[in-house]
Structure formats: structure tokens, C-alpha cells
Amino acid sequence: MGKRTDYDTVIIGAGPGGYSAALRAAELGLRVAVVERDPTPGGTCLNRGCIPTKALITAARSVEQGRRAERYGIGMSVNAIDFGALRDYRRGTVRTVVEGLSGLLRFRGVDMIHGEARGLRRVPGSEADDMTYAVDVTPPDGDARGDTRTVTARHVVVATGSRPRPLPSIPFSQSVIDSDGALELDEFPDDVIIIGSGAIALEFASLWNAAGSRVTLLARKNGVLSNWDRRTSATMTRELKRRGIDVVTKTGVTAIDTGVNLGAVVHYEVANGKTSEEKSAAAQIVLVAIGRNPNTDAPWFDDLGLTRDTAGYLAVDGLGRTNVANVWAVGDVTGGYQLAHRAFEQGIAVAEAIAVAEAIAGLDPEPVREETIPRVVFSSPEAAAVGLTKAQAQADGRYADVAETIYPMLGNARTLMTGENGSVTVVSAVPSDDAAAPRIVVGVHMVGPEVNEIAGEAEQIIGNRIPLAKAARLIHPHPTFGEALGEALLKADGRPLHMR
């Protein structure tokens, strides 16, 4: 292992992919530094995404449960929301999680460098087994003082994350906001228009709807979560409407008018066969949640010769290697599912691959398999999915005799108690290269209460290729929401228990 550099590995970005790579690399004995422009580690997820939004959703569900308590014979009302206390609760949750991460990084001996990577270059004369990179780091305020710190390393991990994507020719403003701006609102809006139909859009729609806001959601295709299983999309669309959210499908935004004061008017078209109808809607706030763009447009990406696709995502192999030797990438910059837990696992795989390259650990890291990554939407109701849809499995040459089994969540006692609805879809198939092999589960798609907690079991079944017959014999505690997956597996195996 080279000793002439400041570090064995420098990681640019301290989000889930970056900090997991740092923790694992340090655990394996590598000298590690992380460059982060935010004051604290954690990236978008911990500071502006996963953690603060779920804290608000947890609070909003308390409001929702209070308003629905009458169905249980409990007289309860929500008199007011203390937005100051709610803000303190959200910030306190974030602070606790971030402080825990910061302490863990210090304990592992990871050096945190507060600043922005303005340059990444190969040191002249360093080749092959003596590769050296220099990372130029400036203060995050734009280098007003002109002091630049340069650190060197044998390996560099790019974990610069992503940023909210604006609508074409419509920049973000006081009234047209992204998810970061939505989190910083001093109070819940009276009415809001959400453009988008993915996880971020649905979570904010559910959050604001539970808090009493009038919510209009403009979806581009036939329903929300249009890239998911068709039943999941249809069920989620129906359930959001049932909760009072105005879901408008087949829309295309043409313009947004904003005034001096807070408020905006959204102009959009609604497709109707071969024709379209022009409509407009006004709201206090417009949230644009149409996806995120990778942070790969700094000049040093071109200077180093890193290969990117037309959307800006870095080209990597299964272990995160880019086309440039000893430069790796994890997280949102690599395309695929933009999820914290995917980036987290990628970080571990990259750290172990670097350790193997440095001959300090007898490891055999495995690539992260996209099809086993759980996707969860913390909306009301929740949605969760692992693996392939029926159409995807039928188009995949690895599988034959694809079958789809549907179980209604109202057949589950715990779901019945909540008054909610949903479904579980199990996709099973036989490996095409071995007709005698047992049938396996290749996809699970769920809508309903607490399905986020069931997604981990689905991942284990799919990721470990457990035969359907064995998976169906797993025992689930009674009465729990998890029994719904157990019943769906039994039905898929041809022996339904609590249903015909």
C-alpha cells in the first residue's frame, strides 16, 4: 500500500454513499478523508431529505389519526399546530442523527475536510501501481480568501449526490419550490399544487393533505408511480383520491405565472385521446418534484475525462469503478435508483474493492444488485416494492412461466383495524436455464399501512433466491401487517389459507 500520499482514499461527498464508504474503508485500515461542503455530514438524506421529511410525516400522521379517531369511538380533535415546536422537533431529529454520524466518523479516524472540491487531477508521473491524485479543496463560501488546500490520495470516491430538477425554462422561486424549500416553509400551505408523481411528490402530498392543506397533484402519465407495478400505480392513485387529494393524470405543464406576492398559477394540458384540453390552477405554493439531476457538471469531471451518459450519470461497473483508474463513484451520480440505502450499500462495496486493490483484506466484494433494492414511499398509504414486475420478468430471458398473484390487504386483520386498503402482488417464475428448478419469487409489490417494514423480508426472499414453497412456509406473528405477505406467498404457492 502506498505511503507517500496524505490518504489512501479521499471521498468527495458525505452523503450515505460517501460516509458508508468512509466508515467501511477506515474499518479495513485505510487512511480516509471526506470532503464535504455542508457544515455537517449526511448529505441530502440526513439533512434535507429522508430524515427531516419522515419526521414531518410522523408528526402529520398523528394529526391524521386524531381526526380519524371517531371511527374507534374516541372523541378527539386537533385544535392547532404549533409550527415553531414542529420545526424544533424536525431540526432536533436531524441534529441527533447527524451528531451520531459525526461521532462515529471521528471514532473511526476519518478526517472531515469542510470545503468544496474545486479540482481533481492525476499527479504527473504517477501511473499504474503508484497512482496519485490531488484534490483541491476551497472554503464552501466560494473561496473569498483564496486559500486552497490540496490533499493527495491513491483512490478517490466521487459521491457528490444530486439536486432537484427544475421544469424546463421555469426556475425555482419563492412560489415555485423544490423539496428543500418545502422543508423550510414556516407553516403548512392552505393550498398547494404538486407537479410530479414519484416518491417525493406523494410524500409531500400525503403530508400536506394530512395537515389540512388542499392538494392538487399533476401526474404526467395515467397514474402516480407510473414506473412501478401497474396495480401499485392504480391502487395508490385511487387511495390518494379517496383521501381528498385531487390527482389529475395525463398532464403536461406549459407555464407557471408568479406574482410579487406568494402564489402561482399553473397552466397545463390534459391529454384526451388525440386531443388535449388547456387548464389552469392557482395555489399558494407550487412544488416541483419531477426528479433529481446528478452533481457531475463541475469542470474537473471533464478535465479528468470521466465518462458520463447524456443525463450526466457517471459510467461505472458493478463495483463502482469509473473509466479512470482508481476513481470510483457511488450514489446518485451513478444513475439507477436514487435511494439512500442503495448508495449506502454501494459505499460498502467500493470500500471493500479498494481494500482488495490495496492488498490489505482478503475480501470478495459483490456488486449491488439493482433488482434487490427495496423502494419505499412513505405516503398515506405507503408503497413498497422489491424486484421485477410481471412485464419485466416476462421480458427477462432468465425467467420462464412467469405468474402474478394478488392478495387484497383488506384480508389482513391489522389492515382491517386501520380502515385502510391496499394490495400485495407476488411475481414468481422458474429459472429459464433449468426447468426442473423450483419456482422462485422475483418481485413483490405492496400498497398499504406499514408496508415499509415488510420490504426487508421481501428483499431477503428475492435476494437469496429462496424457493417459493419454502418462502411460503415462513411463519408470521399474528396479528401483524406482515401476515399479508405470508398469505400472498401461500396463495402464489397454490395453497391459500384465509381466502378462496
Q: Which amino acids are annotated as binding site for FAD, given as ranges?
A: 54, 160-162, 332
Name the helix (H) or strand (E) containing 289: none
Cis peptide before 171 (omega within 30 of 0): no
Residue 424, Cβ neighbours under 10 Å: how many? 30
In angstroms, the CA 178 to CA 165 distance is: 8
Q: What is the DSSP letter of 74?
A: -
Cell readout for 166 is 427544475
- Report the residue count for the chain: 500
For residues 245 and 193, the answer to whether their CB atoms sit within 8 Å is no
- Among the options 114, 155, 445, 478, which is catalytic? 478
Going along 79-233, which residue ranges are E strands? Answer: 111-114, 116-122, 133-138, 149-158, 162-164, 176-177, 191-195, 214-218
Which amino acids are annotated as binding site, given as ranges? 54, 160-162, 196-203, 291, 332
In angstroms, the CA 377 to CA 235 distance is: 13
41 Cβ contact partners less than 8 Å away, ≥ 6 residues apart: 14, 18, 19, 34, 98, 101, 102, 105, 112
Q: In what order do the strands lie in the sheet with 246-248?
A: 176-177, 285-288, 191-195, 214-218, 246-248
Cell readout for 300 is 474537473
**Residue 469 half-sphere exposure, CB side, CA atoms within 13 Å?**
4
Which residue in the block uniquely carries the three cell numbers 424536525?
Answer: 90
288 Cβ contact partners less than 8 Å away, ≥ 6 residues apart: 164, 165, 166, 167, 170, 172, 176, 177, 178, 195, 196
Question: Is there a catalytic annotation at residue 478?
Answer: yes
Cis peptide before 381 (omega within 30 of 0): yes
**Cα-Cα-Cα-Cα dihedral of 51, 166, 204, 140, to 10°?**
20
User: Facing residues of 394 across strands?
Assistant: none
In angstroms, the CA 232 to CA 75 distance is: 34
Going along 289-439, which residue ranges are E strands? Answer: 292-294, 327-329, 375-377, 382-387, 399-408, 423-431
For residues 130 and 151, the answer to whether their CB atoms sit within 8 Å is no
Closest to 404 measured CA to CA, from 425, 386, 388, 383: 425
Residue 310, Cβ neighbours under 10 Å: how many? 5
Residues that are catalytic? 478
